[in-house]
Amino acid sequence: MSSNLAQRVYAAAHITGTFLLRSGVTSSEYFDKYRFEADPVLLRDIVAQLATRIVGNHDALAGLEMGGIPIATMLAQFTGQPTLFIRKTAKAYGTCRYAEGGEVQGKRLLIVEDVVTSGGAILDAVQALRGDGAIITDVVCIIDRQSGGRENLAKAGLNLTSLFTMEELKASA
């Protein structure tokens, strides 16, 4: 793993203050993933490394709203795999779907997320996708905050592969 890439991610995205995380926990530091996702060169370099970490056989990438979508879209450019866009809730107009871009029934999906804390958003999405017949065993993310997400996902039969852990990013600073 490139320590230079970790330094660049840390410099771009690490901020301090008081932040309420999705898990309900308050943190004094935060990785603002939109700061690295909005930088086309940094995002390309991140996803190029992430693409080398993908294991398993998947029919499609499933980017979770909102941060997982740009990562999945860019990852598709490196892997050639189709991408699905997974909403938190189905939209109330048009197709009225929560999974956009293709069908999920019988598909082996790789969940793509930006930052994992407790894994709650992933577990919500996986429950809906599995309910519609998707086969999901693997998740990739850019940052694992090392706050129980890996363990929570494992309980649901999900293997988490992260590009960086919080510990690795802090060590690179």
The 10s digit of each residue's pLDDT in 106-149 is 999 999 999 999 999 999 999 999 999 999 999 999 999 999 99
Tally the domains of the chain.
1
pLDDT on residue 91: 84
CATH number at residue 27: 3.40.50.2020
Other Cβ atoms closer than 10 A to 75: 23
From the list 120, 114, 103, the residue with the least C-alpha distance to 155 is: 120
Report pLDDT for 67.
Answer: 93
Q: Encoding tokens for residue 102?
A: 């293709």
DSSP the chain: --HHHHHHHHHHHEEEEEEE-TTS-EEEEEE-HHHHHS-HHHHHHHHHHHHTT--S--SEEEEETTTHHHHHHHHHHHH---EEEE-SS--SSTT--SEESS--TT-EEEEEEEEESS-HHHHHHHHHHHHTT-EEEEEEEEEE--SSHHHHHHHTT-EEEEEEEHHHHHHH-
- Answer whether the bond into residue 166 is a cis peptide, omega within 30°: no
Over residues 17-62, the pLDDT tens digits come to 999 987 788 989 888 999 999 999 999 999 999 999 998 899 999 9
Tokens 């995380």 -> residue: 21
Judge whether 107 and 60 are in contact, CB under 8 Å: yes
Residue with tokens 């930052």: 115
For residue 74, the enclosing domain spans 3-172
The answer to whether residue 98 scores a pLDDT higher than 90 is yes
Q: How many CA atoms lie within 13 A of 56 on its CB side?
A: 19
pTM of the model: 0.94
